[in-house]
Homo-oligomer: A and B are copies of this chain.
């Protein structure tokens, strides 16, 4: 289950690498949903790449999907641009900049609708994933509002932690909040300092747990923030997070300690990208992107299905070539 949406927080210079430039960032979640669903963008005008050309982790998740046949449900977590992927609606709208006073006014309604949907989903097992440029910054903000120690990674090789701190400080001031003021009130934390994707994921997570669906959080520190929000919503069962070796190896975060503090079991999967010299993988080895679109969960599922990582890498090349086909990844696609 992929939650795709936007926050204008991503427009702050230097916050996100989830698009070739800030004008294209807004298309990334719509394009990611299409790549996961169809194997290529069909309405979105871009293939999401970082400014250096690192392709979206949707390529990895799609590659695994082609190998082991995962079902996909995309939930609209505040898309700002149309997507050709079918989406479930829970009332999310694009999020504003967290430095505004009320950036996610739909958060309470989204939490309720996503929770109800999660409870009703008849599946036995769900992996929850996200795509939202700027999402680690809003995760940081939410964790501060809850009074938790922020542990957030970055799609950039150098985590711009000072910038995130400054943005979050400004956001708290705009919302007249002190750190910890939203403890026990996930709706308020999400509304004042979060983003619509995190609100949707938190609602889904709570509802899926209530509906006795086995949930795995498929992602990095944004999904860990969802676990923290679920704890503040009263969820007590052990949770699971499946992420990549790139997040686990990020020196700017102590993932294990943060996961332990939230009673979250960790699965870390290494796709072995250093074994293959290819533009679809080199940037990950250099520390870009790291996670997103359920990449860590998809890799864990491939591993559990006995698919060798060499086959995953081979399929990643196939998906990448289909997407880019010799075109300059930084240019809008025709």
Chain A contact residues, CB within 8 Å of chain B: 38-40, 42-43, 73-75, 82, 84-89, 116-117, 120-122
Distance to closest chain B CB from A170 (angstroms): 34
Q: What copy number does this chain have within its complex?
A: 2
What's the Cα separation between A305 and B38 when bound, in Å? 24
Distance to closest chain B CB from A3 (angstroms): 12
Residues of B within 8 Å of A85, CB to CB, are 86, 88
Please state if A120 and B88 are interface contacts (CB–CB under 8 Å): no
Residues of B within 8 Å of A75, CB to CB, are 86
Residues of B within 8 Å of A89, CB to CB, are 82, 87
> Contacting A87 at CB < 8 Å: which of B39, B43, B86?
B86
Q: Which residue of B lies closest to A82 (CB)?
A: B89
Residues of B within 8 Å of A43, CB to CB, are 116-117, 120
Residues of B within 8 Å of A82, CB to CB, are 89
> Contacting A38 at CB < 8 Å: which of B39, B40, B86, B121?
B121
Q: Which residue of B lies closest to A87 (CB)?
A: B86
27 contacts between A and B (CB under 8 A): A38-B121, A38-B122, A39-B122, A40-B122, A42-B117, A42-B120, A42-B121, A42-B122, A43-B116, A43-B117, A43-B120, A73-B86, A74-B86, A75-B86, A82-B89, A84-B88, A84-B117, A84-B120, A84-B121, A85-B86, A85-B88, A86-B86, A86-B87, A86-B88, A87-B87, A87-B88, A87-B89
Residues of B within 8 Å of A88, CB to CB, are 84-87
What's the Cα separation between A38 and B117 when bound, in Å? 12
What's the Cα separation between A74 and B84 when bound, in Å? 11
15 more CB-based (< 8 A) A-B contacts, given A38-B122, A42-B120, A43-B117: A38-B121, A39-B122, A42-B121, A42-B122, A43-B116, A43-B120, A73-B86, A74-B86, A75-B86, A82-B89, A84-B120, A84-B121, A86-B87, A86-B88, A87-B87
What's the Cα separation between A84 and B122 when bound, in Å? 11
What's the Cα separation between A152 and B38 when bound, in Å? 35
Residues of B within 8 Å of A74, CB to CB, are 86
What's the Cα separation between A87 and B89 when bound, in Å? 8
Residues of B within 8 Å of A122, CB to CB, are 38-40, 42
Residues of B within 8 Å of A42, CB to CB, are 117, 120-122
